Structure 1
Amino acid sequence: MTNPVEHPGSDAFMTSLAGLAHGMEGLAQDAAALQIREVRLLAAAAALAEKTAAGSPAKVREQDMALRSISAELAGIMRIADRTMQRRIDEARTIVEDYTAALDAWEAGRIVRGHVLTIVAAGSVLPPELRGQFAESAIPKCERDTPNRVRPALEMLAQHLHPRSFAERHEAAAAGRCVRIVPGSNGMSELIAKMPTAIAEGIHDRLTQMGRAIIDTRGERAAGGGLTLGIDGSDESRAEIVSTDARTMDQVRADLFADLLLAGTPALDDTRDTSAGPLGKIRARIQVVIPAHALAGDDHDACDLVGRSPIDAATARQLAAGNRQWERLLTHPVTGTVLAVDSYRVPEKMRRYLQARDQHCRFPGCRQAAIRCEVDHSEDHALGGKTNTCNLCHLCQRHHSMKHFTCWRVRQLLGGVLEWTSPLGRIYREDAPAPAVAFTPAIVTPTEAAPF
């Protein structure tokens, strides 16, 4: 008797996949129960250290020594470093004491460990007395999405709840900007720049675009594209150098970084002798969501650098007003509804609307920014799908390909909601990210109305 062929979509394949899914569900439940037990046990270790030092005139030192001793004991059992164990004890105590609601939601199966850690990380900017309130507001958001996707919303929520304005805190943090070098091994070092997020993201984005341009045109340039690069200046020498270029994107980014800082121009720019070659003209792209009150001058809340982290309102306003490559999204300060979409350039209107609506790749759990994604027809155009906003969404290259070449299927419902169906028939609902986009007609006053 021969074994059935388990090709995708066959009964044998689906049976095997169903078994894997069932096993993973049980494993996830068992793992969560063990993780919660560990958190409570480690929190009890912290409480024991505090109780041991209670009443001592040198309470702080005694408690620290007791905690070190307990950490070393438990670390020996777990075969990890005692410092690592002490960090885990501190983390567990923070969860149990400051984020009780999150721990209860985790225990009830409403959220997972990743959500709890994301809540703790986002809430770390808040004073302890506000963390409970923050957790209560964060849990409903976590129930609707994956930890990495909900992180930006939680960071923005924490910034909003903070008693000090984000602009004030950013100004103090920006005073600590610096560049430092960390010597490494084998003749390598790390050059670390601490700077405002928008600037750092812009630098990385521009290096990525330049690196992609270099990698994607290797064949064309090796064939003799007029590259002014080579040891002896000959076409053969230039072609050989380019044809043997097998650097990864990370390596190209690092080389470009050094080229720009040391020489002011990329070494592989084929027109670097001019004032601005093709690579030199590449500029960074960043997508920022600016609440209407922040655009009007309110500095208390942060603005959302889509796909990354909050930035201060003053930087967001400067970027929105002073660079033609930035698009502006005006959002309602209370509901989050987009009131208007503006741009200094004139992009294709439907694509602009979709970027404002989707913000990122619409496959469950993916946060690749929409500006780096592809617009996909939910119902294939070749099968009659229409090119309209009710049939279009942004998918990154990975998930766009997966939609077309695997058994995953998607259906778009009203309001930009996507309903993904896995090969096993499991349904994953992907709501349109907040703020939801709503365009409304302009209100014409009687004095502005045209006469009959």
Structure 2
Amino acid sequence: MTSWHGTIGTRERLAPLADIAHEAVMAEKLLTRAQIVQLQVLARAGQLAEQQAGDSPARVQAHDMALRAIAAELGGLMHLTDRAVQRRITRARTIVEDYAASLAAWRAGSITRAHVDIIVDAGAELPADIRLPFEAVAIQRCRRDTPNRVRAEIEMLALRMHPRTFTERHQDAAAHRAVRLVPGRDGMSDVVATVPTVIAEGIHDRLTRQARAIIDTRTERSSDVVDTDGRTIDQVRADVFADLLLAGTPALDDTRDATAGPLGAIRAHVQVVIPALALSGTEVPCDLVGRTPIDAATARRLAGDTPSWERLVTDPVTHTVLAVDTYRVPPPLRRHLRARDQHCRFPGCRVPAIRSEIDHTHDHALGGRTERANLAHLCQRHHSMKQFTAWKVRQLGGGVLEWTSPLGRIYREDAPTPAVAFAPARRKPHTHDPAPF
């Protein structure tokens, strides 16, 4: 009798957990269905762009412009940038068109989206005739274990099945080396360099040796250095990394022994909006345009110690320009546009104005004037899209742009929160001035 009551009690205690488990499984199935439908829709969007390009003589460019226009249309609806949507479209076509078996296994619930991503990433460099047998083996392996456990095995499977040697593929991969900047929090960012592994190991080893040398020789320096330099080896390594990149001379600069050269003279160029309060000592955040906020102390150091910076100081209350550096022709108009726009003016785009082009909203060749009300910054991508696709734009005044998509949807693009604002000087009225109406 006691055992029977214990069983009933256990069932009662487990009932809520059973309900939660059932709901979790149902939610996962619903999420899977929704994700697969979205993948198929995005894949159709990519296929539509290819159809629109048709047999155009400039088919590659026509397809690219059609894809940009479609991605921008969907981005407005999904509240994403057109670049993000275009990446999703490309990924969706790859899964739907090249990995149908993985998609089917995911739909059936025998593998997860994470498994599919591992298979797709590992098989990215496999020829089409090898991809199908690779996929079949990979799916079977994924059915039996979690994504994190099968990742290494699936990657090794792809390496073994590839018809080309690892050396040959490494040479191809090295052609895609790059440096990326990933904005982080609290004024910090990650600099990610994709380089050959031996180079990466060498970079890390040299940074480590230099950092250890700095730490080991602290006692040989003045006592004030020993007392104030309490950096860890990670901190020193990061500081040495920054010092070498910002102050070092490129190895292939044939003028590196001279005081200046075409490579050695190149310096970092960034755009920062610094409120007047920050320059006066108040710890307010400053804007590294197109990236992320930076702290006021860093902004003050840059503004005060680096003569090559183009500085823009604004009053935090009236937004009136207080000071600007001398700038290229036409200085007043170009400075104002950079301060007003801050970044590309296509909806959702954050490419900084310093890396964008000043575009005549109404084409200059068709009578558009070179004036503030007809100019706005567009990055190269959206400048081309405005020129070669059905996206249209007009200015409504006050820096407001109105974009019209190919489907006729309207997107209002207000100027960013003003870094500057111009106001006429107020003069005192004279006694003989007529009374206002």
- Same fold per superposition (TM over 0.5): no
TM-score bin, normalised by smaller chain: 0.3 to 0.5
* Structure number with bigger Rg: 2
